[in-house]
Structure 1
Amino acid sequence: MRTTRDRIRHAILFELIALIIVTPLGGLIFGVEIGHFGVITVISATIAMIWNYIFNLGFDHGMLRVIGHTRKTLPVRIGHALLFEIGLLCLLVPFIAWYLGAPLLQALIMDVALSGFYVVYAIAFNWAYDTIYPIPALTAPD
């Protein structure tokens, strides 16, 4: 299992690198002023960091309980990323709609597009992170 400090480092690095990539691209793609899109990305990143910590902690505990370890195969990584994004979608769509004064459907389309980016990004980032900062081998207690 990762330490609290490691989980915090993971969440901060994940969001900072994503913000550097997604803010200018998202503003351009969605035709939203970069300042407004920046607000959306910073608030979304803050919500996502909190969700990231809670979700990953729960996911690792679930893996340890169900299969006895926290080693992630490619299918587990894909499922992990998809479940994370579905939860985040439920948290962010109402905020995006409110901030932009947009209909929920438009906010949903925007968030689904962003989620597509983040699913691919999450798989790549987490794989790289696990390679650079490997999880110590653990097994469930008897």
Structure 2
Amino acid sequence: MRTTSDRIRHAVSFELIGIVLATPLAAFAFHLPGGDSAVIVVGSATVAMAWNYVYNLLFDHAMRRWRGNTEKSLLLRVLHAMLFELGLLIMLLPLIAFYLGISLWQALVMDIAFALFYMGYAFVFNLAYDRVFPLPEWREPAKSGPAA
């Protein structure tokens, strides 16, 4: 399982790269002033960073309990990204609506766009991260029970 320092490196690098990519895209897509785009993206990234740490820790513990390891198949990666974004959407929706002074419906549309962007980004980022920083347990053959 990943260490605390590795989880922090993962969360910080994920959010910093995400901010650099999402801020200009949000300003363009939603016709927001750069400052408002930056506040929404950086504020969302701050919430997401905390959620990222907690969510991944819980997800890894659940995987270890149910599967015995933390290696993620393609299907598990898709589920992982979707559940992460759903939880984040629930947290961010009222914050975006309040800050921009828009309806919850408008904030939902905006948040869904962010979620779709970040879902794809999370998939690619996590796949790359696991290749750059693999866990030793992924290289070891699965150990079976005692020999008969």
**Range into which the TM-score falls when normalised by the shorter chain:** over 0.9
Residue pairs, 1:24-63, within 5 angstroms: 24-63=24-63
Number of the residue aligned with 1:73: 73
Mapped partners of 2:5, 2:89: distance in 1: 26
The structure number with the bigger radius of gyration is 2
Counterpart in the other structure of 1:123: 123
* Aligned-pair CA distance for 1:35: 0.5
Question: Partner of 2:22 in structure 1?
Answer: 22
Normalising by structure 1, what TM-score?
0.96
Identity among equivalent pairs (%): 54
Deviation of the 1:11 alpha carbon: 0.2
**How many residues get paired?**
141
Q: CA shift at 1:79, angstroms?
A: 0.3
Corresponding position of 2:4 = 4
Residue 136 of structure 1, CA deviation: 2.5
TM-score normalized with structure 2 length: 0.92
Q: Distance in 2 between matches of 1:28 and 1:20?
A: 14
The runs of 5 or more residues in structure 2 that have no matched partner are: none
Residue 101 of structure 1: CA displacement? Answer: 0.3
CA shift digits 1:123-142 (9 cap, x unpaired): 00000000000022178xx9
Alignment-derived partner of residue 96 in structure 1: 96
Shift of 1:34: 1.0
Matches of 1:49 and 1:72, distance apart in 2: 21
What is the CA–CA distance in structure 2 between the aligned matches of 1:136 and 1:46, rounded to whole Å? 30
Aligned to 1:108: 108
Which contiguous aligned blocks of 4+ residues in structure 1 show a shift greater than 2 angstroms?
none
**1:82 is aligned with what amino acid?**
M
Cα distance per residue 1:51-74 (max 9 Å; x no partner)? 000000000000000111101110
Find the aligned partners of 2:108 and 2:12 in 1 and give their Cα distance: 25
Gaps of 5+ in 1: none
CA distance in 2, matches of 1:122, 1:39: 21
What CA distance in whole angstroms lies between the structure 2 residues aligned with 1:25 and 1:67? 38
